[in-house]
A and B are shown apart, each in its own frame.
Chain A
Amino acid sequence: MTAKITSLGAGLMERTGRMSSARKYALLFILGLFVLSLVQLIAGTKQLTAPGTWGAALRLTVPIMLAALGGLYSERSGVINIGLEGMMIAGTWFGAWAGWQYGPWAGIAFGLIGGALFGLIHAIATVTFAVDQIVSGVAINILAAGSMRFLSSALYTADTGGGATQSPRIQGFIGTFNVPLVSEWLGALSDRGWFFISDVAGIGAGMTTRVSWFTLLALVLIPATWWLLWRTVWGLRLRSAGENPWAAESLGVPVLRMKYWGVVISGALAGMGGSYLVVVQAGIYREGMTAGRGFIGLGAMIFGNYSPFGLLAGSGIFGYSDALRLRQDSVHAILLLLAIGLMMFGTYSLFKRNYQGSATQGVFAMLFFIWWFTTDDVPGQIVTATPYIVTLLVLTIASQRLRFPAADGVKYRRGEAH
């Protein structure tokens, strides 16, 4: 066992999560939008703020976000969850199976249960038997992939229209809705082509037009999680298990039970992310369809500094860059976006008297700018890599301020405090 943490975990003191800095983030968001429409104007593309791009970005964000949210519950309760990917795989399989049998809503429910089952396995291994959390997580990933293959070959026999690597199509669809009036108004406004205003309207229209009910459900989970973890006694207890389980137990918090909650909810949310892929997007289960989204979710959560709104931003960056890459003639502008973004970070670093960082960022900004200016095309790999570059940038710049739950990853046994 590692050294006990003697001070009360600092994370417990943040009564508000990240909401206290909401104003700062709102400002950053508006600034980001402005940069976006500026880049769009200079680069002469329409895709950066097109409603279609943002609709796609939203749909590509949700599965990553759900996995990240799952990671949040687990890590806040002090259990590292590398197994998110495996839990998500279980979610895709169970979601497709139930969707095929009983329709899309049952698919969501079963995806959730499937993920939760693997969450439970992780919880039993790490909480009850104090298995190394990384090892157990990796094992979950392997186990999930293998057992889903087994289930596929057992249940999706030839006469079902499925096979060893894919399920039959699910029954029916989940409905979509337009936000009344807002969707039309914003759509009309975005067609005007006014600088900034139309761009913002375009983004708004994309996120209010033909939104799946499942998307709404997923998005509601963000504020719900914030409320649950930072405004309820239960949430305080869960976080205390991840910050200082010894102190928590001495105060009568059932630490192991809270960890169980955290890890099982974590699996359920990751599973839900998997079922989103099936129910809203693919219509079938296909082996390997999660394509690493569980791991990306983990990264998005760290990017978001273990907070619900932060992880939404983190997953949004991944979803947005995916959407950009999958749409025509928008990728070249990303170089300019990177250049301007880096320039802004550089200025910020200068302001913070981090001269070395500022210089590095400035140089890279110039390089990206030259690259953008001298070429007409950009390799697709760069766009794929963009969110990773941004995440690395954020981590290097903000690493001093990132903090993970103090007892995250610590093996805790009941009664250790005595």
Chain B
Amino acid sequence: MRSELKRRGRFLALLFVFALVAAACGNGGDETTATTEASTAETTTTTTEASTAETTTTTTEAPKPGEGVKVGMAYDIGGRGDKSFNDSAAAGLDRAVAELGVDATELEPTAGGEDREENLRLLAEDGNDVIFGIGFAFADSIAAAAADFPDTNFAIIDSVVDAPNVASLVFAEHEGSALVGAAAALKTQTNTIGFIGGVAGLGLIEKFQAGYEFGAKQVNPDVEILVQYLTEFPDFAGFNDPAKGKEAALAMYEAGADVVYHAAGGSGAGLFEAAKETSENTGSKVWAIGVDSDQYNTVGEEVREYILTSMLKRVDVAVFSTTENFVLHGQQSGIVVFNLEVDGVGYSTSGGFIDDITDQLEELRLKIISGELEVPSE
């Protein structure tokens, strides 16, 4: 009897430990890798001011066009409140709810992101008409879910999935980068500018670099451009290692660059620190350029004044316009590019540091939009 009890006690203890471990895994998973992969080039940020401003539109009494349309949103790791990619998507969804009157359902994955596909399927079974997968990590799961729910429309951000009911929403990051490249080349006093990429070998960040170099050379053919990547694929740490970002930036400023642009996600924080430190140590101001969202508004006050501008990637625009398109025109598939023309990418003017050159930037922008200039993407 005693031994029986003892055995049962042991079994219970084992069960308890198992539950603990399971809980821990659910919480933690391989969080670091998953997060970095998911957020690739997408940074540290809040929704841009512009988008929040647009959200507050006039509420009319007339029935909204999207009433009865159900939109499902499967965020990636971090979900609402991640100051970045997901927040930007959420802003687009909020706008769609406010302006179009659609019904929104939102799901977030576990910290490890293991249930991305499960979330998509849940949303599809729930009868949503359009389902968004936020981030290129959804590529495989959307392909699988879309095959099983042929009557549901899916949309994926930052990746291309070839299926009749999937819209692939990609951004012309190279075009936006060309504009900030021009800004850098116009602002430099030393005729040297820098580019810090997060992870080399993905193809994605090289796109930013190509555009940046192109834009800089357009306005200043002699400008020297220093390039540094933090890590190489498949090491994704480069998107999340501010310490390395800072050292790379310090080296560039030391080598004479006075404007440095980053496409390195969370590592960008190190760039801003380096700009501040260099400016204070040498007495002459050096600049940093942010990425994805208006980083002027999301970094700490102490480093804000060093952010010349930011290359904007409007995930909110992509989400809203895709929803709007569905509401007005029905099913949509294929690749949709969000470029300068549709305001899918752009640059920020917060802080007023580039007010003196916006004319030239606008000129370049119009040339790119009109097709007079074609920005290389690699």
> Chain A: residues with CB nearer than 8 A to chain B?
52, 56, 59-60, 63, 139, 141-147, 149-150, 153, 157-158, 161-166, 168-170, 172, 210, 277, 281-284, 286-292, 322-323, 326-328, 379-381, 384
Contacts and interface: CB of A to CB of B under 8 A. Distances in A.
Interface majority SS (helix, strand, loop, mixed), chain B: helix
Nearest to B196: A326
B250 A163 contact: no
A164 B78 CA distance: 6
Nearest to A89: B32
Given A146-B111, A165-B35, A165-B84, A287 B240 contact: yes
B28 to A, nearest CB: 3
17 contacts: A56-B247, A59-B243, A60-B247, A144-B28, A149-B31, A163-B78, A164-B83, A277-B242, A282-B246, A282-B273, A283-B273, A286-B269, A287-B32, A287-B266, A288-B241, A289-B241, A327-B248
Interface stretch (B146-154, B224-232, B365-373): B224-232
A79 B246 CA distance: 35
B21 interface: yes
Interface in B245-261: 246-248, 250-252, 254-255
B219 to A, nearest CB: 23
Given A52-B254, A288-B32, A327-B251, A164 B269 contact: no
B240 A146 contact: no
Interface string B78-109: 11011110010000000000000000000000
Interface string B298-318: 111111000000000000000
B87 A328 contact: no
Nearest to B200: A380
A139 B244 CA distance: 27
Interface string B38-52: 010000101000000
Nearest to A157: B81
Given A52-B254, A146-B28, A164-B79, A169 B302 contact: yes
A286 B44 contact: yes
Contacts of A146: 24, 26-29, 31, 111
A297 to B, nearest CB: 14
Contacts of A379: 232
Contacts of A288: 31-33, 35-36, 237, 240-241, 266
A56 B250 contact: yes
Contact of A149 (B44, B111, B255, B270): B111
Nearest to B301: A169
Contacts of A277: 242-243
A380 B298 contact: no
Given A60-B244, A165-B39, A283-B273, 14 more contacts: A52-B250, A59-B247, A143-B28, A145-B27, A147-B28, A165-B35, A165-B44, A165-B266, A284-B242, A286-B269, A288-B31, A288-B240, A326-B228, A328-B228
A143 to B, nearest CB: 5
A68 B21 CA distance: 27
A36 B36 CA distance: 35
Contacts of B246: 281-282
A237 B248 CA distance: 44
Interface of B: 21, 24-29, 31-33, 35-36, 39, 44, 46, 78-79, 81-84, 87, 111, 200, 226, 228-232, 235, 237, 240-244, 246-248, 250-252, 254-255, 266, 269-270, 272-273, 281, 298-303
Contact of A287 (B31, B79, B244): B31
B269 A283 contact: yes
A165 B28 contact: no
Contacts of B200: 380
A384 B269 CA distance: 22
A72 B37 CA distance: 33
Nearest to A149: B111
Given A56-B250, A150-B27, A380 B237 contact: no
Contacts of B24: 139, 142-143, 146
A169 B254 contact: no
Contacts of B44: 163, 165-166, 286
B276 to A, nearest CB: 9
Contacts of B242: 277, 281-284, 286, 289
Nearest to A284: B269
Contact of B78 (A142, A165, A170): A165
Contacts of A281: 242-243, 246, 270, 273
Among B229, B248, B303, the most chain A Cβ lie within 10 Å of the Cβ of: B248
Contacts of B241: 288-289, 291
Contacts of A164: 78-79, 81-83
Contacts of B111: 145-146, 149
A146 B21 CA distance: 12
B270 A282 contact: yes
B295 to A, nearest CB: 12
A100 B243 CA distance: 18
Nearest to A293: B243
B254 to A, nearest CB: 5
Contacts of B229: 380
A129 B378 CA distance: 57
B136 to A, nearest CB: 17
A158 B31 contact: no
Nearest to A169: B300
